[in-house]
Amino acid sequence: MSTIIKKMKAEHIKRPLICAPLVGKTFEAIKEELFVITKKQPGLIEWRVDFFEEIDKTESVIETGKWIKENARGIPVLFTRRSNREGGQPITLSEEEVTELYVSVLEADIIDAVDVELSCPKEAKETILSLAKDKEIQTVMSFHDFSKTPKKEELLDVLKQAQEEGGDVGKIALMPKSLRDVLLVAEVTEEANRGLTIPIITMSMGPKGALSRLVGGAFGSAVSFAVGQTASAPGQIQIDQLEKVLDVIDASQE
């Protein structure tokens, strides 16, 4: 079991890992951003490579990823290309080329975990999952909906699917239309934790969803995404602010 999964399973996930996104468009921007992030010591760094202007140059991605790993001060790195269909940045690569990029990055041994969207084409998904398993690199099987929060049964099925397809972690990120939707995600998180064997990451996005980033760990969400320097999704909170809230929650559990 990797260090990441061990951390996620610790203490029933009452205090989630804090993950800071790395979204620089250029190598120089990434260097500056990583310097700021590592000083704040999050539990995980997510490199959102779909923000990277040279994503179509595999050698540049590999070299940059290697530099990130070497300068992350021991913080695990999650590699993510978020697709357009799930709220990511527009890129010039085809799905086949994205798969080729993932394969190259996995073979280069420069990351600790990789994000794989459940909506990813079946053959591509199987290729990435198989190689990640061979390389002992953890997989986060993710689902994002930037327009709404689906029904409870659908969300539970999504997390179950993530486990059944071989993901090491299941993730859902949803847009609430009301606070009731935020409560629904908390309910799904608690119930899924009782029925699944893999850690899960859940969140509501946007201003209303910020509450889920603060208290999601109490319901069983293994990770909360927070701003190291720049946000990668709506509703993310500054790391220092999130740390303060988590300290208060921890103290209340004693």
pLDDT of 122-158, one tens digit each? 999 999 999 999 999 999 999 999 999 999 999 999 9
Could you give the strand order of the β-sheet that contains 138-145, starting from the edge strand earlier in sequence?
Answer: 200-204, 169-174, 138-145, 113-117, 77-80, 44-48, 17-22, 223-227, 237-238
Q: Could you tell me if 77 and 47 are in contact, meaning their C-beta atoms sit under 8 angstroms apart?
A: yes
Give residue 5's pLDDT.
57
Write down the pTM of the prediction. Answer: 0.91
190: number of Cβ within 10 Å:
14
Give residue 62's pLDDT.
98
Burial of 100 (0-12, 13-18, 19+ CB in 10 A): middle
φ and ψ of 116, to 5 deg:
-130, 120
Tokens of 170: 């299941």
To the question of whether residue 191 is assigned a binding role by annotation, the answer is no
Give residue 160's pLDDT.
98
To the question of whether residue 46 is assigned a binding role by annotation, the answer is yes
Q: Using alpha carbons, list the distances in angstroms from residue 190 to 12, 147, 222.
A: 11, 23, 11
**Residue 12 annotated in active site:** no
DSSP string, 186-254: HHHHHHHHHH-SS-EEEEE-HHHHHHHHHHHHHHTBSEEEEESSS-SSTT-EEHHHHHHHHHHHHHHH-
**Residues 144, 148, 152, 177: which is the catalytic one?**
144
To the question of whether residue 81 is assigned a binding role by annotation, the answer is no
Task: Give the CATH number of domain 17-252; options: 3.30.460.80, 3.40.50.720, 3.20.20.70, 3.40.50.300.
Answer: 3.20.20.70
**Residue 135 annotated in active site:** no
| % residues pLDDT > 70 (the chain) | 91
Give residue 235's pLDDT.
57
Looking at residue 146, the DSSP 8-state letter turns out to be S
To the question of whether residue 236 is assigned a binding role by annotation, the answer is yes
**Residues 171, 177, 208, 244: which is the catalytic one?**
171
Instruction: Point out the residues of the chain with pLDDT beneath 50.
Output: 1, 10-12
